[in-house]
Amino acid sequence: MGKKSTGARKATRAKQLTKTSRPNRRSNREADTRNRALHVLARMRRGETLSRAARSESIKPATVRKYVGNQLRQRASGKRWESDKSDQLTARMNVLTPLGPTTVSVRGSSERSRLGRYNIALRRWRSGEPGAEAELAAFEGQSVGGHPLITDVKLLASLEDASVIDFEELYVSPISRA
């Protein structure tokens, strides 16, 4: 058995890629791991170290670097890993629309953060906390993933009465995807 020529190696590699790679579809496990890596990135932006944030999300630091490594920097070998201030990574997330929660692709850390803050305000409004309506009003005219955020209290009340606002997860569960 001799060495394969460069052309034969390339052809074999091309076959392997077409067999195993699915460019727009991820396995459930891989999608869950990517979501946890995004959570680690968010924790790092709030001041946690890579190792502490990864431990909190039950994921290895090396796995985080695999999924969001282009958003991490290390000034010198052996120094602490630091995250970029923002990113343009895409995540599948649940957005509340007049028809109920809809799964959309949300691009960028600022949009993901906006949706997270909106959901916190929405939960506070649902629990009847004082000042929650003002928090919701702050999102007037803003959108996430091309969908405007609902700030009309009457519409939110009708959605709640219809039991439509009852989603728990912000990020889409990989199991629920078809």
Long-range interactions of 131-139: CB distance < 8 A, separation 24+: 139/114
Determine contact, residues 112/91, Cβ cutoff 8 Å. yes
Reported as a single tens digit per residue, the pLDDT across 41-57 is: 999 999 999 999 999 99
pLDDT at 146: 92
The helix-helix angle for 153-161 and 109-126 (nearest 10°) equals 70
Determine contact, residues 122/136, Cβ cutoff 8 Å. yes
* pLDDT grade for 163, boundaries at 50, 70 and 90: confident
SS3 97: strand
Over range 90-102, report the average pLDDT.
88
Query: Which of 28-32, 56-60, 85-89, 172-176: highest mean pLDDT?
Result: 56-60
* pLDDT grade for 31, boundaries at 50, 70 and 90: confident
Distance CA 98, CA 29 (A): 31
In which element (H, E) is residue 143 found? strand 143-144
